[in-house]
Amino acid sequence: MSLSFRLVGLPQTKPVEEKYDIIIVGGGPAGLSAALYAARYQLKSIVITKVLGGLVNEAPLVDDYLGIPEVTGSELIEKFVNHVKKYNVPIIIDEVVDVKRKDDLWCIETRSSRSSICGYAVILAVGSKKRKLDVPGEDRLIGRGVSYCATCDGPLFKDRIVAVVGGGNSALSSALYLASLASKIYLIHRRDQFRAFKMYVEKASKNPKIEFVLNSVVSEIIGEEKVEAIKVKNRVSDEEKTLKVDGVFVEIGSEPPREFFEKIGVETDEQGYAKINPDQSTNLPGIYVAGDAAGGPYKYRFEQIITAAGEGAKAADAAFKYILKLQSRGRG
């Protein structure tokens, strides 16, 4: 039985096998941290991820990860990957589409291969996906001026006028990054106060290229072949105006993979996040969730790289103890 995957990163010293102690789904901070701790516990593990680095890869600037100041998201992820690869953990690029129980094992199915990889425990660090505005013109103009990644598409808008929609850290850091490229940035936020770190807000307020448009929402994105303008409605006065822009960068948060969790049988909360216990375990024995996709009453929602990495470490430790229990019962 052959396994067809695309391996990435540094040269692999171990071939992909069909059975592991821990399968880690997701290659962002939570998944890579889980892989590191699993390797240090000398557990045979593998990382399978659709996108290496997750949303962190798109961050133009990370200045809140202890000991590594002022680094791009992609540079930080490269450091994480190199650390994990030091322990010879295979990292493969593929999308996990299902997880099924088989005796004491959990077996995953991926989009590119009909063969299964099985393990005693699975850590789901699948993150979340960018939330859309859901306004007229958005879907039609994706890739033609509508973007969800400033670092990916920002260079295409050099000396042009763009809008950034959102009020959190991602929106403010994207606006600051785009200010080094674009001629003007409208920063549009539905409230009168930003949720971002004060440092980001202060820097943005002092940047002559950035104009705050507060208490406002984008009601339509206008353009035929590409973005030409946006309609913005003030939530207080109901006044609507049209701003001429060449691009729109949407940074209004993210949403969890509710359908994926429901397919597997992982219990979710009202928002669709996986319900976790304090040790990141779920209602399914041997299944753990770490990072942005985790939720429930025991989840302290503070979506930072360092907290995601911490949850990955906790999940690996809990999975290690779970596997020890299986072994003590003569199973596994």
Choose the catalytic residue: 63, 64, 98, 152. Answer: 152
Total number of residues shown for the chain: 332
CA distance 11 to 174: 33
Based on the residue annotation, tell me whether 107 is a catalytic residue of this protein: no
CA distance 280 to 124: 10
Choose the catalytic residue: 94, 153, 246, 292. Answer: 153
- Following DSSP, what letter does each residue of 178-211 receive, concatenated? HTTT-SEEEEE-SSSS--S-HHHHHHHHH-TTEE
145-179 burial, b if ≥16 CB within 10 A, otherwise e?
bbbbbbbebbeebeeebbbbbbbbbbbbbbbbbbb
> What is the distance, to the nearest Å, from the Cα of residue 136 to the centroid of all Cα atoms in its chain?
26
C-beta atoms surrounding 113 within 10 Å:
17
Based on the residue annotation, tell me whether 152 is a catalytic residue of this protein: yes
User: Mind telling me the catalytic residues?
Assistant: 149, 152-153
